[in-house]
Amino acid sequence: MNTKTGISAFLVCMNEASIMERCLASLDWCDEIVVVDSGSTDSTLEICRKHNAKIFHRDWTGFVDQKAHALTHCTQPWILNLDADEEVSPELRAEIEAMLARDANGRVQEDGFELLRVVFYLGRWWRKGGWHPERRLRLARRERVTWHGEEPHEHAKVPGPVGRMLGELRHFTYLNISDHIRRLDSHSTAAALALHKKGKRAGIVDLFLKPKARFFKFYILRRGYREGLPGILVGGMEAIYVYLKYFKLWALDRSSRG
């Protein structure tokens, strides 16, 4: 008789050698690790092989589609999804393993669990406000979970009850402010393209009010002010992301109409 139900960890990646070791080392306790790579040219795949990951190649088609595809390669009853810049804390690992032991005895009713993701940025863990608390459904029954979302923001869904884990999923979001700006630019482009594909258009409210609302949400409603000056930076970056997303959408619309 199994002492716990099996679990597959999976992630999608490309050229993540600088951070992949930390991520995969935190998953070595899982029954299998599935990696869908989009054409890495650095040592990412060597690190994956070191951790006995099952590696599959697939050209990049977007976050939602790529994770949905990776899910099809998982074989265990439960799945755990991480990004390459995340790691499972020892406390979260113990909590998940305890859940799997209960599930082996038929004592788990949930279809999935939200994980508490804690950001490390500018030399600090963000546990006071802004990005905190942030919960993501990343742990679920394989046959009950599906992937959804609008690029570049994907998310998982399950039809049944969802629980919450207390252990932290550690997220090393950005290397520095320059990296933050670079990814803000690429993510806003992906978001604008996704909206344009759906036939959306940017209006005055999108360009002038939504960025201000985003800052208010992160700095006031989510208490980013408790993080001091970095809280102002993150609130401002969030507002700039929204502004760029809709301005790029506006530019795409003008371009498509000649």
166, two tokens:
């207390």
**3-state secondary structure (DSSP) of residue 209:** helix
User: Is the pTM above the cut of 0.85?
Assistant: yes
pLDDT digits (tens, 9 = 90+) for 3-43: 999 999 999 999 999 999 999 999 999 999 999 999 999 99
**Spans of all domains in the chain:** 7-171, 177-256
- Any bridge partners for residue 54, and if so which? 34
Contact by Cβ (8 Å): 167, 124: no
> What whole-number distance in Å separates Cα of residue 236 and Cα of residue 40?
33
Buried-exposed string 137-172: b where 16+ CB fall within 10 A, e elsewhere: bbbbbbebbebeebbbebebebeeebeebebbbbbb
- Report the percentage of the chain scoring pLDDT > 70: 99
Mention every residue, 6+ apart, whose C-beta is less than 8 A from residue 147.
64, 67, 68, 71, 154, 155, 156, 157
Q: What angle do CA 210, 236, 196 make, to 5 degrees?
A: 45
Contact by Cβ (8 Å): 134, 73: no
* CATH architecture for segment(s) 7-171: Alpha-Beta Complex (3.90)
Contact by Cβ (8 Å): 162, 203: no
Contact by Cβ (8 Å): 27, 116: no
Per-residue pLDDT 10s for the chain (258 aa) are 569 999 999 999 999 999 999 999 999 999 999 999 999 999 999 999 999 999 999 999 989 999 999 999 999 999 999 999 999 999 999 999 999 999 999 999 999 999 999 999 999 999 999 999 999 999 999 999 999 988 888 999 999 999 999 999 999 989 999 999 999 999 999 999 999 999 999 999 999 999 999 999 999 999 999 999 999 999 999 999 999 999 999 999 998 886
- Orientation angle between helical segments 229-256 and 177-197, nearest 10 degrees: 40
Contact by Cβ (8 Å): 41, 58: no
154, two tokens:
């994907």
